[in-house]
Structure 1
């Protein structure tokens, strides 16, 4: 998806609250008028959205699994087709209530729900955007919701405090009305909680219960391609065999880590490559058709390969061992065009 040329048209903002002490939904505070930002505010807000959803290590394309009546994408489709501002305002209230409904426990904080219609990309595809932003402790509410909104956008949304807000874009990729909505729309979601295992559950209510989205079913293939594409790039670098060995071990650790549930080109590059070759890595992965947003990690197709590490030499000699202990058991001491010196932490047990 080409994330550029975002042109925001109408903006409406509501406020939702965490559930009361009895666990019941507190009615959202609805705005009855569109919010007006000046040109500078619109430009900065557009940049924030593009940078978050379009190229950030916490953004992911997802499949739309719920596209029935009153699903989030169905409401968004109605918003896109709104001609009258009053209709846009009233329909947008359903989005705010749906989010309040999805927040089923008091642990989930309230916040501002910003909804906008826009176009995106060079072909100006119709888009509905939703931002849920938490209200930080230093923010003081005004009696007038409209004034509060403008102050809040200025103080939070227009600053890079990315952990405090979530963003979704529903982009109409095909306007054929005979198709189901999940075939007409694509969805991109930005959420800091989606990346790590310990906070993934905190994101589920937002992308699944509220938005009706789920992880793409081809994540097994993309995970395999990420691993193979990264290995190919590492082994093509003009660096020593020792350095290749170390980076390949980092790749293995990245794939097997129980801490992170996602993969990211930017994330892996930042932690393993010098800055001067990161763009080359990104281009290489793009040529392999690997998305530059977050990838849901599913190692099913490479599980057996990750259990064993193997080094193959130019004379057809190979060394293989368990991946978890490979770096502890085998050290690459030095190498040149004709030979490689290894140290194996073990003695010969058997010969065949």
Structure 2
């Protein structure tokens, strides 16, 4: 998305945001009263770390702005442009307060909040980075050297990763206001394919962004939701395998680049399942979406078959086509004997269940 040479950093400030404690409703912000100055070498390293984070497509997401009122991150970001140092300091405190308000659960950790303002190819941007703290740290009691050392450790050490980054930049496009004048992004180092969403407290409560139009997440979540729906409502193993294979085929072979959830359901689900699909799935995916396989490519080549309890079989999708499961109710010993004798079946796996 950006290269290091085009990234111009004008001002940086660092605040501390504490976690929610006791009966408090939210966390609290602890302010720095001075702009932060990196050395030239550290500043170059910070730029590289930012551009590297943005290149990690499985953790970097284009979102949309949906909060634009006077107490929103979007509003404060716009005010930072061309303001003087005193105004920058006060606006940055408002941004720190927003992050503190998002700490509405005790499980959300404290951290340093780095607020960066600058330009990329003459386009103004504001970038915020939150790094969790593993040690007790009070900015008011520390000297500048200790803060510099801590920032170097959290943000610049190659052994460390950014935890979360929010980014908003001037960018004219065809979207609805305010997204027609700005684009926004988030990097979440803790995101993995096993998670359904990014850290909501950060992108939603703090930044005022929404993930509802991000095709990477929608593509992944629709696949996961359909698989869970099939596991919950389809009885026959062969039917389950066939329906999952149909969705994998759609993801792999669809040439239009657009997935229509309703069309898939109508093409593959009988009437009883179609009614359940409408009530359980349709509301999450009311519109077609552009296919983006970034987060699901590996899963399309691998398949997991659930057996009983926590037992699963996993392997290449093509190999799984040869796996069949029969329960006690539909087990035919004569057919099984014939399949073994003619070489159609190579292995048999039995699962013994406890009698109740």
TM-score (norm 1): 0.60
Alpha-carbon displacement from aligned partner over 1:172-195 (angstroms, at most 9, x marks no partner)? 11399xx83322111121112333
2:192 maps to 1:195: yes
1:71 CA drift (Å):
1.2
Superposed, 1:278-317 pairs within 5 Å as none
Paired with 1:74 and 1:32, the residues of 2 have a C-alpha distance of: 22
CA–CA separation in structure 2 for the residues paired with 1:128 and 1:44: 18
Are 1:64 and 2:61 matched, yes or no?
no
Counterpart of 2:166 (choices 158, 168, 174) is: 168
- Give 1:217's aligned residue: 213
Change (3 A) 1:23 1:97: same
Query: Larger relative contact order (C-alpha < 8 A, sep ≥ 6)?
Result: 1
* Per-residue deviation, residues 97-146 of structure 1 (Å, max 9, x unmatched): 100101111111111001010112xx232110101011123979672364
Residues 157 and 325 of structure 1, relative CA distance in 2, 3 Å threshold: closer
Task: Give the conservation status (yes or no) of the 8 Å contact 2:11–2:35.
Answer: yes
Distance 1:182 1:71 in 2: 14
TM-superposed CA distance for 1:54, in Å, is 3.3
Q: Is the CA contact (8 Å cut-off) linking 1:74 and 1:181 kept in structure 2? A: no
Verify: 1:328 aligned to 2:325, yes or no.
Answer: no
**Segments of 4+ moved more than 4 angstroms:** 138-142, 161-164, 220-224, 294-297, 323-326
- Aligned CA distance change for structure 1 residues 3 and 195 (closer, same or farther; 3 Å): farther
Counterpart check, 1:100 vs 2:129: no
Larger Rg: 2
Distance 1:220 1:40, change over 3 A: closer
Inter-partner Cα distance in structure 1 for 2:58 and 2:184: 16
Matches within 5 A, 1:1-352: 1-4=1-4, 5-82=6-83, 84-120=84-120, 123-137=121-135, 143-144=141-142, 146-163=144-161, 165-174=163-172, 180-198=177-195, 200=196, 203-217=199-213, 219=215, 223=219, 252=248, 326-330=318-322, 345=344
Superposed CA RMSD in Å reads: 4.2
Change (3 A) 1:101 1:295: farther
TM-score by length of 2: 0.59
Taking structure 1 as reference, are residues 33 and 108 closer, same or farther at Cα in structure 2, changes over 3 Å only?
Answer: same
Residue by residue, what CA displacement relative to the aligned partner does 1:21-40 show, whole Å, maximum 9, x if unpaired?
11333431101110111111
SS of aligned partner of 2:36: coil
Could you tell me whether the CA contact under 8 Å between 1:219 and 1:295 is conserved in 2?
no
Q: Indicate the SS of the match to 2:190.
A: helix
Rounded Cα–Cα distance in structure 2 between residues aligned with 1:169 and 1:215: 14
Deviations 1:227-277 (A, max 9, x none): 9xxxxxxxxxxxxxxxxxxxxx9x959x79xxxxxxxxxxxxxxxxxxxxx
Secondary structure, aligned partner of 1:20: coil
How far apart, in 2, do the equivalents of 1:327 and 1:73 lie?
A: 50
Alignment CA distance shift 1:47-1:126 (3 Å): same
Indicate conservation of the 8 Å contact 1:18/1:106, yes or no: yes
> What is the CA-CA distance between 1:223 and the residue it aligns to?
4.2
- C-alpha change, 1:184 and 1:22, in structure 2 (3 Å) is same
Instruction: Please give the alpha-carbon distance, in whole angstroms, between the structure 2 residues aligned to 1:104 and 1:161.
Output: 30
CA contact (8 A) 1:330 1:345 kept: no
Give the match for residue 334 of structure 2: none
Distance 1:161 1:290 in 2: 34
> In 2 relative to 1, CA 6–95 (structure 1 residues): closer, same or farther, beyond 3 Å?
same
How far off is 1:327 after superposition? 1.9
Aligned length: 250
Q: Which moves more between the two structures, 102-111 or 167-176?
A: 167-176
